Amino acid sequence: MTFASNMIIYLRPTLWKRLETLVSALMKKDLIALLPRLRRFACSLTLSVSDADDLVQEACLRALSRSDQWKPDQPFDFWMFRLTRNLWISEIRKQKVRFGKGQIPAEESAELVQHDTGEDRLAAVQLLGRVGALPSELAVVLVAVSVEGYSYSETAELLDIPIGTVMSRVHRARKMLAHQIAAQAEGVE
């Protein structure tokens, strides 16, 4: 035990309650600031805005109810992203048991894309469809690195996989997307 944890044990109950309230307030503030990124991440997992919103809501509720599980030496956003990913995996497993694959077609997720021009919207929907067609383990890593801006090492820690696996998955995902785009361009021209 560290000195700080020893001190916490000996705090009077009223001080302990104040400390819990302070930590809870700080966590809520961090959570509110993280919501847009968390929603983007959830959208990349679910490919549906409404499902992503449900996932983020569930993750926030879980985080607030289990705030004691967060370790201050761990970045809060990593903890939230991992919590969100784990909830999503649990939901996918439940859906597979209940309904089969449980995937949503890219056409139904067009509401994720909000661009001004029809051409940009079409390109974004096509790219979203291609990312959604990638195997899940490739799509999640690609979104974490390319959309969320995490480094390879941060993504490895976030997803609890080796950094070499992150690098190879990003490479394979980009290669698959480039191949799909090139194949479509050859077919059109």
Could you write out the three-class secondary structure of 47-110? CCHHHHHHHHHHHHHHHHHCHHHCCCCCCHHHHHHHHHHHHHHHHHHHHHHHCCCCCCCHHHHH
Q: How many CA atoms lie within 13 A of 162 on its CB side?
A: 3
Q: 74-78, 154-158, 184-188 — which is least confidently predicted?
A: 184-188
Domain ranges (residues) in the chain: 15-104, 135-189
- How many CB atoms are located within 10 Å of the residue 88 CB? 22
| pLDDT (average), residues 162-182 | 91
Instruction: For residue 181, give both structure tokens.
Output: 């785009």
Domain 135-189: CATH architecture, name and number where available: Orthogonal Bundle (1.10)
| Number of C-beta neighbours around residue 125 at 10 A | 18
pLDDT digits (tens, 9 = 90+) for 36-79: 999 888 888 887 888 888 999 999 888 888 887 878 778 888 88
Which architecture does CATH list for 15-104? Orthogonal Bundle (1.10)
The structure tokens listed for 103 are 């995937």
Name which residue leads in pLDDT, 22 or 26.
26
CA distance 24 to 38: 19
In this prediction, residues 14-42 reach a mean pLDDT of 75
Task: Tell me the three state secondary structure of residue 114.
Answer: coil
- pLDDT attached to residue 6: 46
Q: How many CB atoms lie within 10 A of CB 79?
A: 18
Output the pTM of the full model.
0.53
Angle between helices 152-159 and 163-188 (to 10 degrees): 110
Rounded-to-integer distance, Cα 17 and Cα 20, Å:
5
Q: pLDDT tens digits for 103-138?
A: 445 544 444 444 455 666 666 667 777 877 888 888
